[in-house]
Chain A
Amino acid sequence: IVMTQSPATLSVSPGERATLSCRASQSVSNYLAWYQQKPGQAPRLLFYGASTRATGIPVRFSGSGSGTEFTLTISSLQSEDFAVYYCQQSNNWPYTFGQGTKLEIK
């Protein structure tokens, strides 16, 4: 299953809203996760089951979607949110990642 994220880069000002998209080449039901990766760090799980926050993830983050279309929304960007975000499907082996969206400061 090919996961396609858009846009590749998103420039947003602190305090504004960011919306990141992920599309699957075939249905993955809700077996979709989002990860955040900051420079020099390992990825961190943000969401699983498309919309369930992992432990410790702030409520300004929300996830939605099912089937082939998914969205990660950050309601009011904080400085620590600027990072690369990946989606990943766990519906079929091999589990595949999107190519990532880099969220940068405008």
Chain B
Amino acid sequence: EVQLVESGGGLVQPGGSLRLSCAASGFTFSTYAINWVRQAPGKGLEWVSAVSGNGGRTYYADSVKGRFTISRDNSKNTLYLQMNSLRAEDTAIYYCAVMMNYYFDHWGQGTLVTVSS
């Protein structure tokens, strides 16, 4: 069974940093691209970032480019999102989601990030 478990969320002040993690199990982690997708309170889904299976290619939404860095450690079956220069508008639940084809096949339960003073 595919499992994705996010952690690292919390309350951070504007301008601060946070690192999210996503621990994966139940599939061959290094084979698939993994994504971060976020959802602001009461709002829709917004794709944030993706990394290829070997970590060689990364993609970012314009809203986070230059502030967020996605990475993965295939030896630990873990995905990361380093978030710097956080803004109030980054407040959201952050989900990791694996793409086994071209779609978000499996999702974690999410971790809440709140940016507030």
Q: Which residues of A contact B (CB under 8 A)?
A: 31, 33, 35, 37, 41-45, 48, 54, 86, 88, 90, 93-100
Contact = CB atoms under 8 A, between A and B. Distances in A.
Given A90-B102, A94-B61, A44 B47 contact: no
B23 to A, nearest CB: 15
B47 A94 contact: yes
A43 B35 CA distance: 14
Secondary structure class of chain A's binding surface, majority of residues: loop
Contacts, number: 51
B14 interface: no
Contacts of B109: 41-42
A88 B44 contact: no
Interface string B56-87: 00010110000000000000000000000000
Interface in B100-117: 101-110
Contact of B45 (A31, A94, A97): A97
A41 B93 CA distance: 11
Contact of A86 (B35, B44, B50, B59): B44
Given A42-B110, A43-B107, A44-B107, A97 B46 contact: yes
A42 B46 CA distance: 13
Given A42-B109, A93-B59, A35 B104 contact: yes
A76 B45 CA distance: 27
Q: Nearest 9 CB-CB pairs, A to B?
A: A90-B102, A42-B107, A33-B103, A48-B103, A97-B45, A100-B44, A99-B44, A95-B47, A94-B61
- Residue of B59, B105, B108 ringed by the most chain A CB atoms within 10 A: B105
A7 to B, nearest CB: 15
A45 B108 CA distance: 12
B95 interface: yes
Contact of B103 (A37, A45, A96, A99): A45
Contacts of B110: 42
Contacts of A98: 44
